[in-house]
Amino acid sequence: MNQNPYQFIAVEGTIGAGKTSLATMIANDFNAKLILEQFEDNAFLPKFYEDQDKYAFPLEMSFMASRFQQLKDQLGTHDMFKSFVIADYYVAKSLIFARKTLKPDEFNLFNRFFHLIDISLPKPDLLVYLYLEVDKLQQNIRKRGRSYEQQIKDEYLGSIQQGYFEFIRQQQDMRILLIDTNQIDFVASKRQYHKLLDAIFKEYPVGVHRITF
């Protein structure tokens, strides 16, 4: 494996893409400080999947607040015993989801709050986006068995995925690695996991870089 040139890596992807699995595996194998999103503590999440129109705004606001507080706390303290930091989300996911779930007037208000907090958080040195087709996202969602996720529609997943692509295309000053993982299972295969590591721990210039296995 290449030497890791990054101090802060964020792993992103649509629901069911394998973000938490990959971030956890890397943290365990390389003594990295692990930041995992605390989404299961959000009381609005099960309600949102039952009635999106009613609960979208409180859900997105509460997620934004908790993500900001967690990253501010975790990134603001240096752990000298850890080699780098890896998170299974990037705070901009709040904006990506809100753009797809909120009404225009709600999103305009949300957007104002988001940009107030976004400037106070560091950007990751590398943003890794795991791309999976919707049917494979659904397979992973069914496999992990969270009851409130089982009714997520293909259209919603596709919309969120498109939101990520729109965000990625707009970035001018980030290193972004878009990895197509449709043909690999990095959790089950050690060899494929190591291929993924080789791709991630390369020194990339600013811009979007695409890898397909």
CATH class of the domain whose range is 8-212: alpha beta
Q: Are 11 and 181 in contact (CB under 8 A)?
A: no
Task: Give the number of C-alpha atoms closer than 13 A to the C-alpha of residue 2, restricted to the C-beta side.
Answer: 13
pTM: 0.93
Q: What is the pLDDT of residues 99-157, one digit of tens each?
A: 999 999 999 999 999 999 999 999 999 999 999 999 999 999 999 888 878 889 999 99
- Res 193 pLDDT > 70: yes
What's the mean pLDDT when you consider all of the chain? 94
Catalytic site residues?
Answer: 88
Residue spans per domain, the chain: 8-212
In this prediction, residue 1 has a pLDDT band, given cuts at 50, 70 and 90, of low
